[in-house]
Amino acid sequence: MERTRILIVEDEQIVADDLRETLEILGYEVAGLAVSGEEAIAKVVTTQPHLVLMDIRLEGAMDGIEASHIIQTNFQLPVVYLTANADRATLERVKQSQPFGYVMKPFSERSLATTIEIAIVRHQAELEVHRTLQTVQAGKNAAEELAHEKSEYLCLLAHELRNPLTAIKFATEVLQSHSEQLPDEKKMRYIQRIQTATNSLNKLLEDVLTLEHSNANPLEWSPLEVDVVGFCEELIEVLQVNCDDHHTLTFSTNVERYHAFLDEKLLWHLLNNLLSNAIKYSPEGGTIALQLLGEPDRFSLCISDQGIGIPPQTLLHLFTPFYRAENVGQIPGTGLGLAIAKQCVNLQGGSISVNSTLGQGTTFTVILPREK
């Protein structure tokens, strides 16, 4: 067990030597001797004692009470005063400095040891209380931050819901009030608006539920052996059909067959969101490429587009729910796709990175382990 190290601050050499001998007899380790307040502060730094025995009247411009204040404030060390001076004015200054003990000269070994032990115990108790208060405060801050995030999340969600709901409300009111006067072409246009808004609502709610599910159940992961090559080929085929001839989707790989233990649902959410974003932010006629690079222990999936790119200042916030880069303009979106993709990557023990150039395109690279 480590012995208690004590720094002696005493400008009378005989008293200091006597203190050293007494403390060593009592089983303490003397960390050093100082004759002034300035020297005491310097030796606290170099010797790192557990306690300081401080004479009040010292050589130099700084007395023991001033030195004690600096030591307790800057180093959180207990200080016990040693003095032969007990006048009222000195006692008032001593009380204001909140020492951990006060020993009058001449002193006995018993009174000195008792005062030191009480000071050490009190100091440890105060440190524990301080640590507990810090823990409580940290918990309170975290709870307040979470509540603030949830509040912002609900506000953003309400804002995103309002747009499609407004579109549905307007279209239905027009159809209800002027259905007989509207030509069939305009009626169909309003019906298409309702369908588009409904699809937007469904996509938003699906994204929100997916994101919340991945946040609430971080351990819920069901890995199965997946044919990654076949999975990618099938997904590219489906997305190519959905976007007609407006974009070209390609798939390439360095392996003919590649199996990995993955959660198929998470993998679908991951790739579907990244590829859908690439299509959405690419000009008509652009090419979106998915590349699979298989290695023995891990594999990477690179999704590249020739789209609008991402401003450098927004990259740090890219995976924040509802966050959208300022250059998206009127391109529709909820700002949840990349947040979901990040969750899907995290749940499978992988990583995701992005490289983008404004006006030229973006590449997302996902690295996933082959086995769980």
Looking at CATH, the fold of the domain delimited by 224-369 is given as: Heat Shock Protein 90 (3.30.565)
pLDDT at 263 over 90: no
pLDDT at 164 over 70: yes
Which pLDDT score is estimated for 335?
A: 65
With a pLDDT cut of 90, the percent of the chain lying above it is 30
Which has more confidence, 127 or 156?
127
Which pLDDT score is estimated for 158?
A: 60
CA separation (Å) from 279 to 215, 234, 284?
27, 17, 9
pLDDT at 193 over 90: no
Give Cα 198 to chain centroid, integer Å.
Answer: 36
Looking at CATH, the fold of the domain delimited by 140-205 is given as: Helix Hairpins (1.10.287)
Decide: helix, strand or coil at residue 35: coil
Sheet architecture: strand order including 51-55: 29-34, 5-9, 51-55, 79-83, 101-104
Report pLDDT digits (tens) over 17-66.
999 999 999 999 999 999 999 999 999 999 999 999 999 888 888 888 89
Query: Kindly report the CA angle at 347 between 344 and 353, in degrees rounded to 5?
Result: 55
Tokens at 53, concatenated = 């025995």
Report pLDDT digits (tens) over 296-330.
999 999 999 998 888 888 877 787 776 666 656 65
CATH number for the domain formed by residue range(s) 5-107: 3.40.50.2300
Which pLDDT score is estimated for 50?
A: 94
With a pLDDT cut of 70, the percent of the chain lying above it is 85
Report pLDDT digits (tens) over 136-162.
888 888 777 766 656 655 655 565 566
Q: For residues 342 and 195, give the distance between their C-alpha atoms in angstroms, rounded to a whole number.
A: 29
Which pLDDT score is estimated for 333?
A: 57
* Residue-range domain boundaries for the chain: 5-107, 140-205, 224-369
Which pLDDT score is estimated for 143?
A: 76
Dihedral angle sign, alpha carbons of residues 166, 171, 175, 177: positive
pLDDT at 351 over 90: yes
Which pLDDT score is estimated for 268?
A: 86
E strand or H helix that includes residue 74: helix 64-75
The answer to whether the pTM exceeds 0.75 is no
Which pLDDT score is estimated for 219?
A: 42
Tokens at 28, concatenated = 């303490």
E strand or H helix that includes residue 125: helix 109-178
Which has more confidence, 182 or 200?
182
Which pLDDT score is estimated for 337?
A: 73
Q: For residues 343 and 210, give the distance between their C-alpha atoms in angstroms, rounded to a whole number.
A: 9
Which pLDDT score is estimated for 182?
A: 81
E strand or H helix that includes residue 276: helix 264-280
Q: For residues 292 and 229, give the distance between their C-alpha atoms in angstroms, rounded to a whole number.
A: 8
Q: Are 291 and 302 in contact (CB under 8 A)?
A: yes
**Mean pLDDT of all residues in the chain?**
83
Long-range contacts at 287-290 (CB < 8 A, ≥ 24 apart): 287/247, 287/248, 287/249, 287/250, 288/247, 288/248, 288/249, 288/250, 289/249, 289/250, 289/251, 289/252, 290/232, 290/235, 290/236, 290/249, 290/250, 290/251, 290/252
Q: Are 102 and 84 in contact (CB under 8 A)?
A: no
Q: Are 290 and 249 in contact (CB under 8 A)?
A: yes
Q: For residues 161 and 169, give the distance between their C-alpha atoms in angstroms, rounded to a whole number.
A: 12
pLDDT at 206 over 80: no
pLDDT at 249 over 60: yes
Which pLDDT score is estimated for 163?
A: 63
